[in-house]
């Protein structure tokens, strides 16, 4: 038992060290591939193609930056990766029998998409918490948002803002206007189910809601801390 304990301790220490190194590397290096990209490619048919081009945050429209914050995580700039207030609100809504929804932050989604596989097991959730803590500790908010906007799925085979801008609107991520940005943000909960262009009545409704949130958000700034 003593030898087994030492062996398990070594595994844990190695995991901690390697995960920290991995997160530090991605603090500076563009993320070339995510687990979801691999899964989609393996499960796709012969015509499936992954479309992904990395762009720095300065080359991604402020309209899209603010649109995804307002649609996905309005407390992104102030929380430490874990939005306790949103979790409490979701718990109360779900207890009252309203439509069940989650309270995943942009930091959670970034950790999940970049470092982990898809799934709902407690082990994977624990890994998500760990990597969320690491990126919030070792990265800036700018870097988290940059990686998020370059890595998330935005359509079939479409990953990241640049690929999405070209696919949906034949433009660049930098030149997305407010209407185009809100359309992309509106499909993020189910990017394989919904279309940003042309958009359905439901997506148009979400676009209008996001635009109102953007107007109420106030001055949009990211502080490098």
Answer whether residue 147 is part of any domain: yes
Question: Does 44 map to a domain?
Answer: no
List the CATH number of the domain containing 86.
1.10.3810.10
Does residue 185 belong to any structural domain of this protein? yes
Q: pLDDT digit string (tens) for 2-27?
A: 788 888 889 999 999 999 999 999 99
Domain of residue 112: give its range.
56-217
The predicted structure's pLDDT at residue 86: 57
The answer to whether residue 6 sits within a structural domain is no
- Cα angle 166, 202, 175; round to 5: 25
Q: What Rg, from alpha-carbon coordinates, does the chain have?
A: 18
Residue 23 lies in a domain: no
Kindly report the pTM of this predicted structure.
0.88
For residue 175, being part of any structural domain is answered with yes
pLDDT averages per 10-residue partition of the chain, 225 residues = 84 95 97 95 90 97 96 91 63 50 81 88 90 96 98 96 98 97 96 96 97 89 56
| Rounded CA separation 26/177 (Å) | 29
Q: Residue 115 domain-assigned?
A: yes
The number of folded domains in the chain is 1
21 within some domain? no
Would you state the pLDDT for residue 176? Answer: 98
**Would you state the pLDDT for residue 6?**
85
* Cα–Cα distance for residue pair 124/128, rounded to 1 Å: 6
Would you state the pLDDT for residue 102? 52
């Amino acid at each position: 038992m003593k030898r087994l304990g030492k062996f398990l301790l070594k595994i844990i220490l190695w995991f901690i060290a390697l995960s920290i190194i991995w997160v530090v590397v991605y603090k500076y290096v563009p993320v070339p591939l995510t687990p979801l990209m691999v899964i989609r490619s393996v499960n796709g048919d012969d015509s499936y193609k992954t479309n992904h081009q990395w762009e720095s945050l300065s080359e991604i429209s402020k309209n899209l930056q603010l649109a995804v914050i307002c649609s996905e995580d309005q407390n992104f700039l102030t929380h430490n990766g874990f939005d306790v207030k949103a979790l409490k609100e979701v718990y109360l809504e779900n207890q009252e029998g309203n439509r069940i929804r989650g309270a995943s932050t942009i930091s959670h989604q970034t950790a999940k998409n970049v470092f982990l596989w898809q799934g709902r097991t407690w082990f994977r959730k624990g890994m998500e918490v760990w990597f969320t803590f690491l990126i919030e500790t070792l990265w800036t908010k700018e870097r988290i948002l940059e990686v998020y906007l370059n890595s998330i799925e935005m359509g079939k085979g479409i990953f990241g803002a640049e690929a999405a801008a070209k696919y949906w609107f034949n433009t660049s991520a930098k030149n997305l206007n407010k209407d185009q940005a809100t359309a992309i943000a509106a499909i993020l909960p189910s990017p394989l189910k919904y279309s940003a262009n042309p958009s359905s009545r439901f997506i148009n409704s979400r676009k209008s809601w996001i635009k109102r949130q953007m107007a109420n958000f106030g001055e949009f700034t990211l502080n490098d801390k």
